[in-house]
Amino acid sequence: MEYFVPSSQTEFNHIIEGFRQKTLPSNEWTHEAHLVAGLWHVANFDFDEALTKMRENIKTYNEATGGQNTDSSGYHETITVFWIWLSKEFWKSQSVDNQDFERICNAFLKSKYCDRNAASLFYAREKLFSREARLTFVEPDIQPFVFENI
């Protein structure tokens, strides 16, 4: 599968700042853009703060670009927790002093960890896409979150 790979710091900034300022065009809010924003948050904040900021930013971004956050569309709590967890684990596995965000993010976007179906290693489809999982975090039903199992 071909993944979007930002080619410059300007492209990274466009995605991150556009998301944070709610100015990123909705057609650019792709799976890969979600992952760029999520990885940026885990690179700059501890897990809990990154998760809190992503929760808030996704919800307000959705509304600012004409979307809604309901029990059947928009923000999805369990998927957000999953991707922030996975992003943080990847960041920890790759980052050492003096490595830049853009390089690590490009490695992330090109890796198996960005597969859209990664959560299916941990969740049955019915559980992951349930109303309950959209509204609150639900624990995985296939196996616990273990980075090495991806």
Are the CB atoms for 5 and 110 separated by under 8 Å?
Answer: yes
Please state the pTM of the whole predicted model. Answer: 0.93
pLDDT of residue 4: 60
pLDDT of residue 1: 44
Tell me how many helices (H) and strands (E) the chain has.
Answer: 7, 0
Q: Quote the Cα angle for 141-147-148, to 5°.
A: 105
- Least reliable range by pLDDT among 4-8, 37-41, 133-137: 4-8
pLDDT tens string 71-128: 999 999 999 999 999 999 999 999 666 578 898 999 999 999 999 999 999 999 999 9
**Six-digit token string for 150:** 């991806």
Domains of the chain: which residue ranges?
A: 9-116
- What mean pLDDT is reported for the chain? 93
Percentage, residues of the chain above pLDDT 70: 94
